[in-house]
């Protein structure tokens, strides 16, 4: 065996959940926590609004532009594809990525509009599969009460209820459901535990895989 010198890889950790479930708050706390443990970690988010594709998505979400449902779905997917190789490079160099939303958002939100779920999953095939998906579980009613929804396209109670239903069919072996109605600190503690054990597993040589697996 000649892989003794190979640097151990980072973990691909995704946080998913409805709008206002607490993903962004927890993602930044997780990165600080991992860094405090002496680990390399970066915060990523999708959509990545900084790219050209991301700017089209951002305009759509803020209702500044209109797009066909299929078209915006493919743009969200393209926005992940344009980051795929950098993602792989970072993971292989030992950096853990804490990612705020990923392909599951892509499929849950578009299929909640009525698009066929297999059609929605297809463009995600071949993207890196997360080592862990932490789903921040909160009812749409409770989420709506947090700080109130803004003006973005999907921030409407009736639609969020449909999204919650569509997330349910996406749960697989990599998912851990976390009760997002606990205090921020309690959610944080629970996430630290499951993320740290995931990072350890990846350091021990767990192979990277691709969606959908």
* Strand partners of residue 177: 135
Q: Does 46 bind ligand T5A (CB under 6 A)?
A: yes
Interacting residues of 57 by C-beta distance below 8 A, sequence separation 6+: 47, 49, 72, 75, 76, 79
Q: List the beta bridge partners of residue 179.
A: 137
Q: Which is nearer to ligand T5A, 9 or 46 (CB)?
A: 46
User: What residue spans of the chain are helical by DSSP H?
Assistant: 23-36, 52-61, 69-81, 84-92, 103-112, 117-121, 140-145, 157-168, 184-203
Q: Which stretch binds ligand T5A (CB under 6 A): 101-109, 114-122, 165-173, 193-201?
A: 101-109
**The two structure tokens encoding residue 84:** 């795929």
Nearer to ligand T5A, 95 or 149 (CB): 149
Q: Which stretch binds ligand T5A (CB under 6 A): 82-90, 114-122, 180-188, 194-202?
A: 180-188
Shortest distance, position 46 Cβ to ligand T5A, whole Å: 4
What is the distance between the alpha carbons of residues 142 and 35, in angstroms, rounded to a whole number? 32
By CB under 5 A, residue 24 contacts Na ion:
yes
Judged by CB under 6 A, the chain residues 117 through 156 that form the site for ligand T5A are 146-147, 154
191/202 with CB nearer Na ion: 191
17 near ligand T5A, judged by CB under 6 A: yes
Q: Is 58 in the site for Na ion (CB under 5 A)?
A: no
Q: Report, in Å, the least distance between residue 42 CB and ligand T5A.
A: 17
Residue 8 burial by Cβ neighbours in a 10 Å radius (0-12, 13-18, 19+):
middle
Q: Which residue is nearest to Na ion (CB)?
A: 24
CB 30 within 8 A of CB 97: no
- Residues lying near Na ion in the complex (CB under 5 A) are found at 24
- Residues lying near ligand T5A in the complex (CB under 6 A) are found at 17, 19-25, 46-47, 61, 76, 101, 105-106, 109, 146-147, 154, 183-184, 187
């Amino acid at each position: 065996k000649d892989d003794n010198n190979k640097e151990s890889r980072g973990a691909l950790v995704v946080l998913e959940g409805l709008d206002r479930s607490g993903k962004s708050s927890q993602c930044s706390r997780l990165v600080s926590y991992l860094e405090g443990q002496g680990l390399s970690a970066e915060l990523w988010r999708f959509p990545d609004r900084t790219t050209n594709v991301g700017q089209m998505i951002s305009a759509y979400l803020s209702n500044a532009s209109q797009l066909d449902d299929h078209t915006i779905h493919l743009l969200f997917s393209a926005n992940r594809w344009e980051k795929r190789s950098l993602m792989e490079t970072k993971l292989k160099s030992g950096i853990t990525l804490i990612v705020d939303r990923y392909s599951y958002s892509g499929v849950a939100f578009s299929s909640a509009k009525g698009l066929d779920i297999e059609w929605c999953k297809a463009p995600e095939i071949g993207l890196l599969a997360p080592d862990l998906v932490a789903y921040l579980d909160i009812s749409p009613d409770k989420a709506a009460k947090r700080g109130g929804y803004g003006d973005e396209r999907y921030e409407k109670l009736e639609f969020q209820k449909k999204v919650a239903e569509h997330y349910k069919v996406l749960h697989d072996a990599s998912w851990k459901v976390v009760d997002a109605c606990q205090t921020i600190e309690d959610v944080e503690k629970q996430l630290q535990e499951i993320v740290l054990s995931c990072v350890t597993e990846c350091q021990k040589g767990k192979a990277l895989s691709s969606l959908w697996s």
